[in-house]
Chain A
Amino acid sequence: MESIIKAEDVSYRYYGRIPAILDATFEIRKGERFALIGANGSGKSTLLQIMGGLIHPTSGKVFFSGEELSEEALRNKEFTKSFRRRLGYVFQDSEVQLFCPTVLDEMLYGPMQMGLSETAALERAGEIMEMLNIENLRDRPSYMLSGGEKKRVAIGSVLTVNPEVLLFDEPTNGLDPRTQCFLMELLVALSNAGKTIVIATHDLSLVDELHARVAVLSEAHRIEKTGSAEDILSDEELLLKVNLIHEHIHFHGQTAHSHLHSHYFFHKH
């Protein structure tokens, strides 16, 4: 399969000092499901923002479809236009992403910028809203939506552009189980539709259900291991090392009992 995103020795330091990601090298192929997993503060979101061309690495290079995503390249109008059409980014905090007066305007923003006719844009918006079950919200402003609704609208606003690659930052964070389930099914459906899906998460069940290829980030901000979801999720030592599972003490009757624990491993949810 053709490579769509490639990172070569990418490092990023906040304020030029605090390391967020160090020497990350990996490749994502077209149509692939790829997950960046790691504990809080390991650099997942930073790496995702670098892939999204929102920030630029302190050192190293990132390529999109064989073209380097440098600051200079993204100053080129045509390049940026094409890049933003082909790659969609869903932020962890949906609220910052929604800035149009109503939900319908959010859906129309991307297609109208692409130069689609109003009829075609409205058609797309309608189809996406139907898919996401948010037709009833079309005239509502974003601040009158619940967390789950905001997430659906944020995803919809990106999907109306029909990007080839979708980057999701902590997609299930703060969502109720029903919305999480909905989102999981949506990711699978989008993947089946040929989209490249990249997620940054610490939700191991999401990684498992997506059957994604996984890159594990350590708390030292380095990629510790890359492999299939099965490989990674069965490597307890690795998950313990990168703080994705922990030792858990609980009681069986009067006896305290301790073992490795994560909700994914023991409760499968």
Chain B
Amino acid sequence: MANKIPSFLTRELPSAPLPARRKVSRWGRGTLRASFIDKGLKHVAGVVNTGYSQWEAAAKEGPLQRLDARVKVFFFLFFIVIISLKKEVYAEVAISAFIFLLAAISRINLFRFYKRALFFGFIFGFLVALPASLSSITGGEIAVPLITFPKAYDFWIYHIPANIAITKEGLHVVTLLTLRVFNSISLSFLVFSTTLFPELIKALKALKVPDIFLMMLTLSYKYILIFARTIGEIHLAKKSRLIGEESSREGRNWIADRIAFIFRKTRLKCEDVFKAMVGRGYSGEIRLYGPGRLTVADRVSAVLFFIAGLLFLFI
């Protein structure tokens, strides 16, 4: 082996002195900037972190965490129906306060919880419902006039009035829809954050969700985390071999290659998992182990949630 060592490997490198610790600003010249690809990879790899945070929050000692997952799933479905039925803004605000109270006593990270809930509530609630505030969609008393045309227009099935404005009724609709979406999202986050994933699956089984669907859900969740970890490793491996900066074209080529790599790996993993399942007796039918018995505390909590739901329904 020693004879085969190429001569360039034995040549002493002119130990390129590392530059003295010169302060560089985050965005200044001479600074390595993370490309959008780097940032994207980091975010995907961050899924593992999210999975860990969920597990950590769900494993905490809190009143909601202690409850049987079936009670929480029942509470979730019941309240989703109530949130959708309520037409008054104050009732939705009261439900928001109730969810906040439950989140607070469950000792989950409220900042992270509300950051995500508000973000999705804003995108899927407020932005989607915003056009409904306009007089062309929701008629009524004008609150804020926006545009005035010389006359009204009729286009295909649409009627565009001469005055386009934000109406009071429209504002009510937008507020109500935003609150409904926000409450539904925060409720689902609350249940997910306080329930361990396997418990959630068992609760869904108790609700007669088919086992094959639950198996797919379990495998998907597990492999999302596995692949997020692989993506994290790919990112580090790239970082270790990158001398200097690369052009965005090189970056795009690299990402295309890595997508193909992940695709290949997914296919191979899928084959391996199937073989492992067959090896362990799988013959087309899946039977999962069901949940245990409900405790007295679970039953009492279920009744309390039911009463709270009825109160919200009739206020």
Contact = CB atoms under 8 A, between A and B. Distances in A.
Whether chains A and B associate is yes
B234 A113 contact: no
A184 to B, nearest CB: 10
A162 B1 CA distance: 17
Interface in A64-101: 64-65, 67-68, 72-86, 88-89, 91, 93, 95-97, 99-101
A65 B18 contact: yes
A143 B6 contact: no
Interface in B269-286: none
Given A65-B15, A95-B261, A185-B1, 20 more contacts: A52-B240, A54-B240, A55-B236, A67-B20, A72-B23, A73-B21, A75-B26, A76-B32, A84-B243, A89-B241, A91-B237, A96-B237, A99-B254, A124-B6, A143-B264, A162-B8, A162-B9, A189-B1, A189-B5, A192-B5
B234 A76 contact: no
B249 interface: no
Interface string B225-243: 0000010011011111111
B30 interface: yes
18 contacts: A65-B15, A67-B20, A67-B21, A76-B19, A80-B243, A82-B19, A85-B16, A86-B16, A86-B18, A95-B265, A97-B237, A99-B234, A131-B5, A185-B1, A186-B1, A188-B2, A192-B5, A195-B9
B10 interface: yes
Contacts of A77: 30-32, 244-245
A186 B26 CA distance: 41
B84 interface: no
Given A130-B4, A161-B243, A75 B32 contact: yes
A158 B243 CA distance: 11
Contacts of A131: 1, 4-6
Contact of A99 (B18, B26, B261): B261
A185 B5 CA distance: 11
Given A15-B53, A76-B22, A99 B1 contact: no
A78 B13 contact: no
B105 interface: no
Contacts, number: 141
A71 to B, nearest CB: 10
Contacts of B264: 143
A86 B13 contact: yes
A96 B32 CA distance: 23
Contacts of A114: 243
A163 to B, nearest CB: 8
A21 interface: no
Interface in A182-217: 185-186, 188-190, 192-195
A159 B9 contact: yes
B243 A189 contact: no
A78 B30 contact: yes
Nearest to A163: B13
Q: Which of B5, B238, B241, B258 has the most chain A CB atoms closer than 10 A to its own CB?
A: B241
A96 B30 contact: no
Contacts of B242: 84, 113
Nearest to B48: A15
Contacts of B6: 124, 127-128, 130-131
Given A76-B19, A96-B234, A194 B12 contact: yes
Given A91-B237, A143-B261, A15 B21 contact: no
Given A77-B31, A91-B233, A99 B257 contact: yes
B226 to A, nearest CB: 12
A232 B70 CA distance: 54
A49 B233 CA distance: 11
Interface in A88-134: 88-89, 91, 93, 95-97, 99-101, 109-110, 113-114, 124, 127-128, 130-131
A164 interface: yes
A193 B17 CA distance: 21
Nearest to A80: B32
A157 interface: yes
A110 B18 contact: no
Contacts of B22: 76
A101 B257 CA distance: 8
| 10 closest Cβ pairs, A-B complex | A127-B6, A89-B240, A185-B1, A97-B237, A113-B243, A193-B10, A189-B1, A67-B18, A96-B233, A84-B243
